[in-house]
Amino acid sequence: MLIIALFSSFVVFLLLGVPVGISLASAAIVYLIGADIDLAVVPQFMFAGMDSFVLLCIPGFVLAGNLMNGGGITDQIVRFGNALLGHIRGGLGLANVTGSMIFAGISGTAVAETASIGSVMIPAMKKSGYDGAFAGALTAAASTVGPIIPPSVPMIIVGTLAGLSVGKMFLAGAVPGLLMGVGMMVTTYAYSCYRRYPKGVWGGFANLLRASRAAFWALLMTAIIIFGIVGGVFTPTEASIIAVLYAFVVGLFIYKGFSLKDVPHIIIESAISSGALILLVGLANVFGWIMASEQIPQVIARAMSLFMTDKYQFLLFVNLLLLFVGTFMETIAALIILFPALLGVATQFGVDPIHFAIIMVLNLMIGLTTPPVGVCLFVAANIARIPLSAISRAILPFLACNIGILMLVSFIPAISLWLPGLFY
């Protein structure tokens, strides 16, 4: 009965519009009162959940992304994409995807990518003759590459929850992220040819060289983070601090997109975003302790073993479950609630933990572009000034592409495990 009270109260709080973190804590308190357990365990387990060196990555990468975004890096990335691909049919759309793949190495969050790239590319695409719904849908879909290609805030949280190597997960996400980007570029080109969308004029190699020099600093930042972690030069947490220093110098002195008086506002904005994420992790740790003490993962594992015989059936079930969950639950909350429980079952079926983590993150990133709670869809529709129903229809080809990539990653482990195995 107490478990039923735990989950039912959590659902009720969510339906009432209570924030996810507060809903988790409130449901946990309902359980603790019913079980006559001292409420002092709430702050104890909250602190235990937040007291992690790896979690320091989150404010670091969030601040680095905001500094680079405020420093004008988005404009430089878009110019590079246009110079490289703008002369091809649907070139602005291809540049949109390219920009998102580059920006992925800076922000690590899909919503920030949708807002940053979308504010530049969606108006430009509409002005050039692209349908507004297509421009918005493409931007929302391309932004989901952000948390797959490292650095990735969701992967940092998954590593903290399960004690997995963040460096290995960063590497494991690289190839799936590139596959997603290439898949969306193919979809964009095919759709652009069908709709006869415009193509620009080739600006010459001199223009491409100028744009490449401008985008060089963004590419270098990603290289520093990845090769520094893989090479053992610094930990992911230290990498986030180095990224902040790098972003500050590049944004202030090279791109000159902000001045010293803008820095306090950027820091405050980053602190609010990071604080909300870390608080959510702490509150979810209380919820997770209750689930562990009630042996919920073991119950789920026994139930699944009754009607599943191998890991492929399990992976198919997990994909369908997570695609459904992604339609109504926020990514970080879904990871915190579901990952620890499902990971125990996955390991019993012989699924590698790193591989399973990538499947989880990839699934829930796709969920950011599925209605009714696709956050990236809301942001893109707002920028494009179109109704959500229109962008929801336009996103379907990109959803089909991303789900196809998801199935490849799920059933061919080498796609995600090859790079970690090579470097580790």
Over the chain (424 residues), the average pLDDT of each successive run of 10 is 80 78 82 85 82 74 76 71 77 81 64 72 81 90 83 80 83 91 92 83 77 77 72 76 85 82 88 78 77 71 74 88 76 77 84 93 86 74 84 91 94 92 81
Q: What is the pLDDT of residue 127?
A: 78
d(CA 417, CA 316): 19
The model's pTM is 0.76
Instruction: Check residue 404 and give its pLDDT.
Output: 94
CA-CA-CA-CA dihedral for 124, 126, 132, 138, to nearest 10: -40
Could you tell me the maximum CA-CA distance found in the chain, to the nearest angstrom?
73
CA distances from 346 to 251, 313, 316, 359, 420 (A): 43, 11, 12, 11, 19
- Helices assigned H by DSSP within 54-152: 57-70, 73-85, 91-103, 110-127, 132-143
Res 298: pLDDT: 66
Check: CB of residue 20 under 8 Å from CB of residue 330. yes
Q: What is the pLDDT of residue 105?
A: 56
Q: Do 148 and 180 touch, CB atoms closer than 8 A?
A: yes
**How far is Cα 40 from Cα 30, in angstroms, rounded to an integer?**
14
CA angle 153, 158, 161 (to 5 degrees): 130
Which residue, among 64, 61, 73, has the nearest Cα to 100 in the 3D structure?
73
